[in-house]
Each structure stands twice: as C-alpha cells, then as structure tokens.
Amino acid sequence: MSQTVDIRELNERIESKSSFVNMITVGMDQVIVGQKHLVESLLIGLLSDGHILLEGVPGLAKTLAIKTLASLIDAKYSRIQFTPDLLPADVVGTMIYSQKHEEFQVKQGPVFANFVLADEINRAPAKVQSALLEAMQERQVTISEHTYKLPKPFLVMATQNPIEQEGTYPLPEAQVDRFMLKVIINYPKKEEEKLIIRQNIGAKAPDLKPVLTKQEILDAREVVREVYLDEKIERYIVDIVFATRFPQEFGLPNLSSMISFGASPRASINLALAARSYAFIKRRGYVIPEDIRAVCHDVMRHRIGLSYEAEANNLTPEEVVSEILNKVEVP
C-alpha cells in the first residue's frame, strides 16, 4: 500500500516537473516536420544525461533538430564542424600568451558549452574524436596539465553520414559505446514532405524563445532517477542484454554465429535510464515493458558487433534486436 502512495506522489511531481516536455515538443514541431521519434530521442538524452549519435543521409534535419532544441533552452550552445584538418586544441582549447598580463592564459574551446553539436564527427582524425569523447566520459578536459570541469548540464549530440565513407574516420566500437543512444533518421513520409516544402518556401522562420532553464533540466533529471523500476523489469533488461551474449540460451541458436560480441553492462544501465526518461515523458512514475521496447533499438544497435557471416547475409543490428525482443519473455 505504501508503494501505491509513493507512486501517486511521484506521478504528481512528474506532472509538475514535466510541463516543459509539451512546450519543447510544440517548439520543435514549428521547425521540424514529422520526426516524432527524433524529438523523443533528444528529450530522452536530455533527461538521462546521455550523449546522442544521429545517423542519416544529408538533408534530414539532423543539425536543424539539434539547433532548434538548443534554442528552446536557456543555455550555452556551440557547434564544432569536424574536418580532416581539425586539431584537438580546436575542440578543447589551448594556452595562449597574453601580452597584457605577460603570462599564458587558457583559451577555452567550443566544448565548454552546455550543448555541443559535433557535426559529421566521422570526418576528423581519431585523436580529435578521442579528445571530444574523453570530455564526454569524464565531463572535464585537461589543458597544459590543468584540469577544467565542463558546465552542467553537458550534452554532446553528434551527427554522421552513413553513405559517404571516403575520407572519413569511422568511430571505433569502444568510443561509439559512450553514446547513450544511436538514432537512425529516416526519410519523411509523402504528406510530411509536402509540409516541408510549404514550410521552407517563402515562409518566415519562427522566432523561438527559451522555454526551459538549465536548473529545470537538472531538477527533472533528479525526478527521472526516482522513477520506479520493478525487479521484474530489471530482469527483463538483463535478459535482453544477455541474449546478445548468449543467444542460444534464449532459444536463438541462429544468432550465435551472427553476433561477434554482445552488449556490455553499459547497455543495461542505459536501457534502465532511457526507459525511466521515456516513462517521465509519458508522465508516468514507473517503467513498463513497453518503455523498454520503445528505447531498446536506439540503446542497443551500436553495442552489438555483427560477424562476417551476418554481413554476408545482410543482417542488421536492428533485425538482431527485433528478434531478441520477439523471443525474450515479457514480464
């Protein structure tokens, strides 16, 4: 009975703390046509304190979506355009000599912001990628033997183009794993594309005002971490992740030769966090199996290594995740 009272009280707190979700969605809809899943994924990353990797062909509003979200939040935003000649110092900053003060002073790089757009992250060399990815993991950077904390909240949203691979530096698996979500952006539907044409020809761009403060984000994150996760749901998460490592134990012997390595414990942590954020967005104080299924593909697709046999059979990580979800018993 006490649990029922707790859930009711938590639901009320979520109701009061989640009012911005609708305002963000309305603001995004003024600029981004369709792409409901993309907007939800950005909100999940924001609430979970998890970085996001967006993948899609050029022209699908990846960059525009991130810029629009940043404009709706009263926080510092910066964009880093990744190119082959970019240096780590261009990302994190460097020491410069001040003639006025006759000493070296720190010139902070664009990574010192609340929201960092890493555009076409696979265009820069590995040393530049690792400079950003270290900042993502540690929430701090080192410049000339001194360590500097990054501001809170700190969220990296990176984009990459999957079709043009010449002159790119693909992210290593270990570094991709640091992104909480990998979201695949698909083409819009016919009706949505008509709206895109109308919206972009002659129409004046909407003047968006911030509807959310940094402190409100941090407060909402505290509530998200209190969203109730039942032991049955925890077991469901663990079963899904273990099915990527030992598929034969879950009645999926056909996947054993298709998976070269399964998801790490980071997948379990991020599945739980993303599901809690999804429940928060739906104004619910507890996680249900549908929440896990809703976020599972985005959390898992970049954490499963496929074998050469899987590639020869044109099997995708999405299909592997779908097969696992269809087989693992739902509580």
pLDDT confidence band for 165 (50 / 70 / 90): low
How far apart (Å, rounded) are the C-alpha atoms in residues 113 and 28?
Answer: 21
pLDDT at position 169, please?
A: 84
pLDDT confidence band for 232 (50 / 70 / 90): very high
Equal CATH topology for 2-203+212-218 and 228-327: no
pLDDT at position 202, please?
A: 66
pLDDT at position 59, please?
A: 82
Q: Which residue has the higher pLDDT, 236 or 3?
A: 236
Is residue 4 predicted with pLDDT exceeding 60? no
How far apart (Å, rounded) are the C-alpha atoms in residues 162 and 64?
Answer: 18
pLDDT confidence band for 50 (50 / 70 / 90): very high
pLDDT at position 1, please?
A: 34
Q: What would the pLDDT profile of 119-152 be if each residue is shown by its tens digit?
A: 999 888 888 988 888 889 899 998 888 888 999 9
pLDDT at position 322, please?
A: 94
Pick the range with the lowest mean pLDDT from 21-35, 258-272, 316-330: 21-35
CB-based contact 195:33 (threshold 8 Å): yes
Q: What would the pLDDT profile of 76-133 be if each residue is shown by its tens digit?
A: 899 999 999 999 999 998 888 777 777 778 888 999 999 999 999 988 888 898 888 8
Which residue ranges make up each domain of the chain? 2-203+212-218, 228-327
* CATH class of the domain defined by 2-203+212-218: alpha beta
Q: What would the pLDDT profile of 248-290 be if each residue is shown by its tens digit?
A: 999 889 998 999 989 999 999 999 999 999 999 999 999 999 9
- What is the rounded average pLDDT of the residues 43-60? 91
Q: Which of 46, 38, 47, 53 is nearest to 179 (CA)?
A: 53
Helices (H), the chain: 2-17, 19-29, 36-48, 62-71, 88-92, 126-138, 173-176, 190-200, 214-224, 231-245, 265-281, 289-300, 308-312, 317-327
The CATH architecture that domain 228-327 belongs to is Orthogonal Bundle (1.10)
pLDDT at position 62, please?
A: 84
- Sign of the Cα torsion 80, 82, 86, 87 reads positive
